[in-house]
Amino acid sequence: MGKKAVLRLADGSAFFGEGFGASTRRVGELVFNTSMQGYQEALTDPSYGGQVLTMSYPLIGNYGINNLDFESSRIWAEGFVVREASESFFHREGVRNLDSFLSKYGVPGICGVDTRALVKRIRKHGVLPCSLEVFEGAEKGGDASFDYSSVNFVEKASSSGVEKSVPENAEKTVVLLDLGVKRSIVKELNKRGIGVISVPWNSSAKDILAFKPDGILVSNGPGDPAILTNVHSAIRGLSKLPMFGICLGHQCIAHAFGGSTSKLKFGHRGSNHPVYDSEKKRVFITTQNHGFAVDRVPEEFVVTQVELNDKTVEGMMHSSKPIFSVQYHPEASPGPHDARWLFDEFKRLL
């Protein structure tokens, strides 16, 4: 690697370290993820758009990058912060190291910094605007200010046209409203014989109904759900169909039916979040990646699941219509496959 790097926070603090990845400067919102693995999936998750991602686990990159675990076609995080970035890797599927992966997609990374101190700072003060610069020679510098909620990241993360993924054994077809979907969600639907027609984020209810779908899935994605008013409108126009919302989709469903969301202090990002299901009387271990949460549940909905760490809303369903949603990622595999049954439930409703 051999390059210099500096992470500057909006509160005036700075963290110096060794640079890797692309020699460039990016600004974003500094967040942290507590997972011990899954860095490739996290970096390519569109939900990290506009964010500089810090991994709390100290060794990242030791199993390399493979061609199987992409959640999208590129890296979405604005920058990557780790304690130690492994230059070598050992895995049968590995094809490149972390340094070359970030370089390929023009993303800066910094290592050799105290990520424990960073995480403690974020937990105390909340997510912070920041800049991350990797440089050779002198630092160019610049403003670290950044207003995350003023940017429509979904517009950037969503597909620009209609995409179809329909297996030969498809029994049902759903339209997926793409707010920045992870590939694993489409795979889980296809596994269950469900064909998927993905449409752009700004599709109207009329556009979607023209496909005559059996149901609707509102995907995950980046950014503030409150600003996506056209998505809220489309959801209202589709409310006669079975509907499943995931992460940002869950938040947009809340807005569509009169609820609201608020920004969490430092969000939920990791693979060991306990969620209690009041109907099943069970705790599920979940993977999460979000900075907003439903704070006012729509009148027609009932809360089905809560986060045991802070009691935020993790699941809800309509009291009379086949509409339900969850805040976490049921397609992810944090070790157990606790939440995969939600896709089975969605199929049952179609």
Residue 111 designated active-site:
no
Cα 65–Cα 178–Cα 271 angle in degrees, nearest 5: 45
The encoded tokens of residue 141 equal: 């510098």
**What is d(CA 56, CA 9) in angstroms, rounded to the nearest whole number?**
17
Mean pLDDT taken over the chain: 96
pLDDT, tens only, 206-265: 999 999 999 999 999 999 999 999 999 999 999 999 999 999 999 999 999 999 999 999
Residue 2 Cα distances to 18, 155, 303, angstroms: 7, 36, 51
pLDDT, tens only, 79-137: 999 999 999 999 999 999 999 999 999 999 999 999 999 999 999 999 999 999 999 98
Active-site residue (options: 232, 250, 255, 329): 329
Greater confidence (334 vs 342) lies with 342
Element (DSSP H or E) covering residue 296: strand 282-296
Question: What is residue 1's predicted lDDT score, i.e. its pLDDT?
Answer: 63
If pLDDT is split at 50, 70 and 90, which confidence band does 141 have? Answer: confident
The pTM for the full model equals 0.96
Cα 41–Cα 58–Cα 46 angle in degrees, nearest 5: 20
Q: Is the pLDDT of residue 2 over 90?
A: no
What 3-state DSSP class applies to 332? coil
Q: Name every residue whose Cβ is closer than 8 Å to that of residue 259 and which is 6 or more positions away in sequence.
A: 294, 296, 297, 298, 301
Q: Is the pLDDT of residue 63 over 80?
A: yes
Question: What is residue 179's predicted lDDT score, i.e. its pLDDT?
Answer: 98
The encoded tokens of residue 256 equal: 């569509």
If pLDDT is split at 50, 70 and 90, which confidence band does 77 have? Answer: very high
Q: Is the pLDDT of residue 138 over 90?
A: no
Question: What is residue 250's predicted lDDT score, i.e. its pLDDT?
Answer: 98
Complete domains list, the chain, with CATH: 3-146 (3.50.30.20), 153-349 (3.40.50.880)
The encoded tokens of residue 48 equal: 């990290």
Q: Is the pLDDT of residue 29 over 90?
A: yes
At 103, which amino acid appears?
Answer: S
Q: Is the pLDDT of residue 334 over 80?
A: no
**What is d(CA 76, CA 157) in angstroms, rounded to the nearest whole number?**
8
Instruction: Report the percentage of the chain scoring pLDDT > 70.
Output: 99
pLDDT, tens only, 282-309: 999 999 999 999 999 999 999 999 999 9
What 3-state DSSP class applies to 63? coil
If pLDDT is split at 50, 70 and 90, which confidence band does 142 have? Answer: confident
Active-site residue (options: 41, 111, 133, 247): 247
Q: Is the pLDDT of residue 335 over 70?
A: no
Q: Is the pLDDT of residue 148 over 90?
A: yes
Residue 329 designated active-site:
yes
Residue 247 designated active-site:
yes
